Amino acid sequence: MIKIYHNPRCRKSREGLEVLEQSGQDFEIVKYLEDIPTEEELKTLIGYLGITPEELVRKNEAIWKEQYKGKSLSDDEIITAMVENPKLIERPIIVKDKKAVIGRPSEKINILL
């Protein structure tokens, strides 16, 4: 089953959702600002993406700039920051069969389809 971590207010996330809808495949929508991933879920997603926790952070968010930018943070501390402030999580994230992509640009989603 395909899963999209989605923020309906984000244009890029809506574009990602549209790609999935047009694919005709079944998928599940996770509104991650409401259904916040746990630290373990984020660690799993980061593993599927093959990136570091910091690469999943939206560094232009005010929360990041005000509270975390310039600090020396461990991977666990970065993951905790994303759980406490889910707006920091890059979006959309599309997951299929233990593989994932960040759908920016939305064409990247086709890698999984």
- Using alpha carbons only, how large is the chain's radius of gyration in Å? 14
**pLDDT for 109:** 96
Average pLDDT over residues 99-106: 95
Contact 99, 91 (CB under 8 A): no
**pLDDT for 47:** 98
pLDDT digits over 26-81, tens only? 999 999 999 999 999 999 999 999 999 999 999 999 999 999 999 999 999 999 99
Average pLDDT over residues 100-109: 95
Strands 2-6 and 27-31: parallel
Average pLDDT over residues 71-92: 97
Select the CATH number that applies to the domain covering 2-111 from these four: 3.90.1150.150, 3.90.180.10, 1.20.1290.10, 3.40.30.10.
Answer: 3.40.30.10
The long-range contacts involving 102-106, CB below 8 angstroms and separated by at least 24 positions, are 102/49, 102/56, 103/4, 103/12, 103/13, 103/15, 103/16, 103/19, 104/12, 105/12, 106/12, 106/15, 106/16, 106/18, 106/19
Residues 6+ apart with CB under 8 A from 81: 57, 64, 67, 68, 73, 88
Q: Distance from first CA to last CA of the chain, Å, rounded? A: 11
Average pLDDT over residues 70-93: 97
Catalytic residues, by residue number, are 10
